[in-house]
């Protein structure tokens, strides 16, 4: 992996393929106390930070009604990635002053070397 690209965070989403062949996502309704349902939009899908926190929708589960509307259930790993496109190195005032002083000394040295070469 390049040092310019990195993962900001990784989440897991429960997804399914409904009987019409469309991908749907697990979501919960906060107004009904967290009642789960399938939704077509991934933007409001429920996300979990670890794989073991994703709810299991098994045949004997209380969410059996969710199994009856889909043909396949999948857990998706979603990575939010970033790439550095611009950066600026920040230097301290002391370092900036030292670098300016070094530049002056280098300029003076170059001037003196040039003067010595003229004497030869």
Q: What tens digit of pLDDT does each residue of 35-70 get?
A: 888 899 888 888 999 988 887 765 555 566 777 888
The answer on pLDDT for 106 being more than 90 is yes
Residues 6+ apart with CB under 8 A from 48: 11, 12, 13, 54
The per-residue pLDDT for 1 is 45
User: Which of 41, 40, 38 is CA-nearest to residue 29?
Assistant: 38
In terms of phi and psi (left: phi > 0; alpha: psi -120 to 50; beta: otherwise), the region of 21 is: left
Given a cut of 60, whether residue 93 has pLDDT beyond it is yes
- For residue 33, name the pLDDT band (cuts at 50, 70, 90): confident
Nearest to residue 114, comparing CAs of 11, 106, 78? 106
The token duo for 105 is 């000394």
Task: Assess whether pLDDT exceeds 70 at residue 15.
Answer: yes
Over range 1-11, report the average pLDDT: 81
């Amino acid at each position: 992996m390049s040092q310019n690209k990195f993962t900001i965070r990784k989440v897991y989403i429960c997804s399914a393929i409904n009987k019409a062949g469309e991908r749907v996502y697990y979501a919960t309704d906060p107004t009904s106390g967290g009642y789960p349902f399938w939704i077509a939009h991934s933007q409001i899908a429920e996300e979990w930070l670890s794989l073991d926190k994703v709810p299991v929708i098994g045949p004997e589960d209380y969410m059996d009604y969710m199994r009856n509307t889909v043909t396949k259930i999948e857990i998706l790993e979603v990575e939010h990635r970033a790439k550095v496109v611009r950066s600026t190195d920040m230097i301290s005032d002391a370092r900036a002053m030292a670098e300016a002083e070094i530049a002056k000394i280098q300029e003076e040295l170059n001037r003196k070397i040039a003067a010595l070469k003229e004497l030869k």
